[in-house]
Amino acid sequence: MARIVAGVATSHVPAIAAALDLGKSGEPYWKRVFDGYQRSKEWLRKVDPDVIILVYNDHASAFSLEIIPTFALGCAAQFPIADEGWGPRPVPAVKGHPELAAHIAQSLILDEFDLTIVNRMDVDHGLTVPLSLMYGQPKEWPCPVIPLAVNVVQYPPPTGRRCYHLGRAIRKAVESFDQNLRVVVFGTGGMSHQLQGPRAGLINKAFDERFLDAIARDPAALTRISHVEYLREAGSEGIELVMWLVMRGALDDEVEEVHRFYHVPASNTALGHIILENRK
């Protein structure tokens, strides 16, 4: 039986990719960011998962306004790195796990999540920045990744409650897969930030810290945050935090907090990161 052993939440700020790819990770501004992931890298090396399910959002790279799937599960064997306007990031292509992905897709749809199945998809910084933060700069990514793209670009994204329940259904799907695999789920995006309009630059540290506390100990409370509250309190792009709830829904009710990191600023964004482990 496959099982989910842990969850990782992290922001996926594109400037982190630029800092890493252009060799600026040692500069004081960025060193503070990368230092926060030192323990995380060691942790992930020890956990050594067989598969990562990575919840993220596409930023007008694979999906334009032609097709806007709310939940899109990547079922391909390989996902090329997107050219976001200055050439693809110099990182390895992402290998999928088509067999597990197909099983999850089938299980989720029968569980009444009407998701979109994607067999061809370029993946952008939303997916590759979390991998870079957690694995550094390897020649190949150490394990297969199943991308789950969530629409947070066009309002409304799915509700936090829906995301949490999707996480539950993903867990059920993973646990009914007949191979002995250890799976880690990543929830990415956030924390508070706003990239547009005269209110750009909004950061809400108090909101973020409450969110980090609750994602560990009281996720049910987070499922009650309305979309308008996210927009008002965490900024127009802070609503990405609903994706953390997919990860959290896939874990046990009671989890062990392994590591936490919070830092302002990473470009325009409050960077947040937490690692949660199932106890058994």
Partner 1 sequence: MKPNEYDDIPGTTVFDAQRSRQGYHLNMFCMSLMKAENRAAFKANERAYLDRHPMTGEQKQAVLDRDWNRMISLGGNIYFLAKLFFTDGKSFQYVAAVMTGSSQEEYAQMMLNGGRPPEGNRYAAEWEKKPGRKRG
143 contact partners, CB below 8 Å, separation of at least 6? 48, 49, 50, 51, 52
Among residues 107, 188, 194, 223, which is the contact residue for partner 1, using CB under 8 A?
A: 194
195 contact partners, CB below 8 Å, separation of at least 6? 236, 237, 268
Smallest distance, partner 1 to C-beta of residue 7, A: 26
- Catalytic member of 12, 97, 103, 125: 125
Angle made by CA atoms 266, 15, 140, in degrees to the nearest 5: 120
Instruction: Please give the Cα distance from 85 to 191 (Å, whole number).
Output: 25
Region near partner 1 per CB under 8 A, out of 43-51, 165-173, 193-201, 251-259: 193-201
Among residues 132, 188, 204, 223, which is the contact residue for partner 1, using CB under 8 A?
A: 204
- Is residue 97 annotated as part of the catalytic site, yes or no? no
Size of the residue set binding partner 1 (CB under 8 A)? 43
Q: Quick one: 43 or 262, whose CB is closer to partner 1? A: 262
Cα distances (angstroms) measured from residue 161 to each of 4, 115, 216, 252? 20, 16, 16, 16
Q: Count CB-CB contacts under 10 A for residue 152.
A: 25
Interaction of residue 28 with partner 1, rule CB under 8 A: no
Run of H or E residues at 161: helix 160-175
- Is residue 125 annotated as part of the catalytic site, yes or no? yes
Binding mask 68-87 for partner 1 (x = CB under 8 A): ---------------xxxx-
Instruction: Please give the Cα distance from 28 to 17 (Å, whole number).
Output: 16
Smallest distance, partner 1 to C-beta of residue 201, A: 4
Smallest distance, partner 1 to C-beta of residue 19, A: 12
Torsions phi, psi of 236, nearest 5? -65, -30
Q: Quick one: 26 or 65, whose CB is closer to partner 1? A: 65
- Catalytic member of 12, 97, 193, 273: 193
Q: Which of residues 87-146 bind partner 1 (CB under 8 A)?
A: none
| Helix ranges restricted to H, 78-159 | 98-110, 125-135
Q: How many residues are recorded in the chain?
A: 280
Smallest distance, partner 1 to C-beta of residue 82, A: 9
Region near partner 1 per CB under 8 A, out of 106-114, 161-169, 187-195, 215-223: 187-195
Q: Is the peptide bond before 156 cis (omega within 30 degrees of 0)?
A: yes
Write out the residues near partner 1 by the rule CB under 8 A: 14-15, 59-61, 64-66, 83-86, 153-156, 192, 194-207, 227-228, 231-233, 236-237, 264-265, 267-268, 270
- Which residues are annotated as catalytic? 125, 193
